[in-house]
Amino acid sequence: MFHRAALPLVLTASCLVVPASTSSADAFTPGSRGLGDSYFPLEGNGGYNAAHYDLNLSYAPKTDRLAGSVRMTAHATKNLSRFNLDLRGLKVTSVKVNGRRATFSRSGQELRIAPARGLVKGHTFTTTVRYGGVPRTIVGSPIVFGSPYGFLHTPDGAFVGGEPNGASTWFPVNDHPSDKASYKIKITVPKGLGAISNGVLTGRRTQGARTSFTWKQRQPMASYLATIDIGKWKVKSGRTPGGIRNYIAVDPKLRAGSLSYVTKATARATDFWVSTLGPYPFDTTGAIVDDARYRGRPLGFSLETQSKPVYSAVRDTGTIAHELAHQWFGDSVSVKRWKDIWLNESFATWAMYYWLEKKRPGALTVGEQVRADYADWAPVKRYWTVKIADPGRNTMFSSRVYDGGAMVLQFLRERIGD
């Protein structure tokens, strides 16, 4: 991340089931309602691991209403009598587990599901949740620099940036980066609009007044990196000079030449990181650049959504290089606990400095840049009170984590080499 100032869910697969009523009282027990993350104790859920989400969504910008279906495959990690999903707001109308109707209840962000039969450890199971409504934007949180995040409504559609805990604003999910899954996302929107998501576009079909777009993200993805961005777009698809598939979508309201600029900047940065960091980890690179605002005010928002970072406006090449470095550090290799967020942001910040050193004439070297940062922050006591390796929930995206973490990496590099 980089900052400047009635819908169905289905968990799908085969499963061995036994009637819970015939088991001993302690043979089938509920999964925990959170994974116990020190920053977000209720994010994620215990008792199962997600393997695949199959979302089938529709969105109406005029009413801001989201509806459709989602399918997810999960594996039970214990004998389950009940399990939870994370979901903020939105109305659930029905739930099925392995095709059988299940009972459910709501408590805050927790959707508690009790299947008709117990789920056996080591086997896969399926769940269908029908839900709908107007997704809520998360506002007033100090976590993300005070910026609104999650599902943001735009005049012609939507802009979605879910880090750290915003995925559950638009679909039921095991919302923690330690439980990654593959995704298929189908989005139906009014004809004339486009819907962009992670991975590769595998289908587009118009029927009457609506058009459906289908996207597939084969490689496992943390839930906060999932996105759906809806509106009017200028699109350019092709390949980088190095042969990586490149898909760019830019809001036509942005300045002339933006599509060409972002396409070239994304291609250059992607190929540079391939030569520096190793093979590109996904099927496509790209960018989604929107004129995204909240209540009329521009958002200072960029996020490394997997395979296609999202930008709330046109950004400079340093920011683009930062978000694309995240495809290796943060997306392909992800944190297991949010307290380790510096491992995402320090590498991406160091990488941005390295990009500037190599690609911008007259730029400082990485060593010079981190020493300049050190000097700038030296008199600011509050900066040094943040512990890089455990910065705290409300300061997990502080400058100390970004450029302070880059200092750590550079000073280590000077000791032990690349």
pLDDT at 72: 83
Q: Report the percent of the chain where pLDDT is more than 90.
A: 89
Q: How far is CA 418 from CA 225, 270, 352, 415, in A?
A: 28, 20, 16, 9
Average the pLDDT over 5-21 and give the result.
41
Mean pLDDT of 147-172: 96
210-253 pLDDT, tens digit per residue, is: 999 999 999 999 999 999 999 999 999 999 999 999 999 999 99
Q: What is the pLDDT of residues 111-145, one digit of tens each?
A: 999 999 999 999 999 999 999 999 999 999 989 88
Q: What is the mean pLDDT of residues 49-68?
A: 96
- Per-residue pLDDT at 9: 40
Over residues 91-109, the pLDDT tens digits come to: 999 999 999 999 999 999 9
Cα three-residue angle 57-147-69, rounded to 5 degrees: 10
Measure the CA–CA gap between 183 and 213, rounded to whole angstroms. 14
pLDDT tens, 375-416?
A: 999 999 999 999 999 999 999 999 999 999 999 999 999 999
- pLDDT score of 3: 57
